[in-house]
A = this chain, B = another copy of it.
Amino acid sequence: MAPIDIPTTRKECEALDRADPLRRARDQFELPEGLIYLDGHSLGPPNHEALRRIEHAAKSGWAEGLIRSWNSEGWIDLPLAVGAKLARLIGAQPEEVVVTDSVSVNLFKLASAARKLTGTDFVAVEETEFPTDQYIAQGMGAWMRVRSGEALEAIADVPTTLIKSVVNYRTSEIVDIAEYERAAAKAGSAIIWDLSHATGILDLDLPAAGAKLAAGCTYKFVNGGPGAPAFVYVSNAIANKLRSPIAGWFGHAAPFAFDSEYRPRPNAARFAAGTPPIFSLCALDGALEAFKGVSLSELQAKARALGDLCIARANQVGLVSISPADSARRGGHVSLVHAEGYAIVQALILRRVIPDFRAPDAMRFGFSPLYVRFTDVWDAMDQLADVLQTQAWDRAEFKRRAAVT
């Protein structure tokens, strides 16, 4: 898709919204009236189908069907069925993805399994990586933290497993997956891609880029709901050589045969572990319906254009972006830095514009193309300009820090 020119007036934004091939997608979402929600990179909103599926699973599946619903409602097959739907968003084959556990647990399983590929216990992670990725590596023993930008050298040296985000949570910078995979292949290293901030916003093709292992969350741009179960991607080329360290019964070839011997399922399914949380899994299944028929290249092109608009207008009011100006190198969010970022975000929330904040100074604005319009970004940036101009953020109630923002 050709890039979209940055609009310079609200009228031009309106025209872009009218011409937007994704404009119908917004109708599927439940969004509070008058709220501009730019936090889809943290928790996406529900579509109608996700809410319908939760209610059905509770009232019809659980209360009426009881134990029978594991079969009659297809609950038992959901980890693979939902995985197959997700697979399209990352360019994978249906059986290369299973929905299971959290990102933390999945990174652990994959990093443990990857020792079979590297022949070493070494795990590397960058100092700018999302904290849970760093913690998982630390918890594994033979880990090293490398300086930002030095991961390529780390994996070229000794065979090492690198845990690396495709989109950095703070800067939104995208990494060139193929370049890293080429370096890893040369040295016998392995890379576990964290797709948390990438899935549902980028036009990903993991197999084409040579990626073999990945995990990601589904509650950001995939809109699966709070704490929605995460996923594991394992390339069919290597899956059957690997073993999950957590050999739970949902990863067994025949979980209800009650065999004494563990026989892992074929492909990525072997990375499933325990019984999955059905309400959260059904919500995710419903959320994925919003992506049906959506072109990933259109999705990515719109996300880039919305981010370009945000950066252009932020620059006008003197705000510095730490996200790449080149939209081809940027994910679905833009980070603007300001020493009073926390208070500014609070002032925006009071005006019904919702970004989020990451310590110490980053205000993150997320642009999910399924429901964010060009006019939303325009209006949000109007509010941001006004908050800065009037110093509206400089009030005591905005300056208290909460546990989560």
> Which one, A172-180, A184-192, A270-278, A328-336, is touching chain B?
A270-278
Instruction: From B71, B102, B225, B249, give the contact of A274 (CB < 8 A).
Output: B102
By the criterion CB–CB under 8 Å, are B105 and A217 in contact? no
Which of A36-44, A154-162, A290-298 lies at the interface with chain B?
A36-44
Known: A256-B403, A278-B226, A279-B283. A104 touches B273 (CB 8 A): yes
Copies of the protein in its oligomer = 2
Chain B residues with CB under 8 A of A244: 139
The one of B226, B260, B262 in contact with A127, judged by C-beta atoms closer than 8 angstroms, is B260
Across-interface contacts of A55 in B (CB, < 8 A): 55, 58
CB < 8 Å neighbour of A37 from B43, B66, B281: B66
- Contacts A104-B249, A277-B279; A262 near B138 (Cβ below 8 A): yes
Q: What chain B residues lie within 8 Å of A219 (beta carbons)?
A: 275
Contacts of A134 in B (CB 8 A): 260, 262
| A379 CB-CB contact with B under 8 Å | no
Q: Determine whether the beta carbon of A260 is less than 8 Å from that of B354.
A: no
6 shortest A-B CB distances, which residue pairs?
Answer: A102-B274, A104-B248, A139-B247, A277-B280, A104-B274, A279-B279
Question: Does A146 belong to the interface (CB within 8 Å)?
Answer: no
Q: Smallest CB-CB separation from A247: which chain B residue?
A: B139
Q: Which of A76, A136, A227 is packed against the most chain B CB atoms within 10 Å?
A: A227
A-side interface residues toward B, CB under 8 Å?
A: 30, 32, 35, 37, 39, 42-43, 45-46, 51, 54-55, 57-59, 61-64, 66-71, 75-76, 101-105, 108, 127, 131-132, 134-136, 138-140, 145, 217, 219, 225-230, 243-250, 252, 255-262, 273-281, 283, 349, 354, 356, 358-359, 402-404
| Alpha-carbon separation in the docked complex, A30 to B257 (Å) | 31
Inter-chain contacts of A356 with B (CB < 8 A): 67
In the complex, which of the residues B42, B132, B349 contacts A248, with contact meaning CB atoms closer than 8 Å? B132
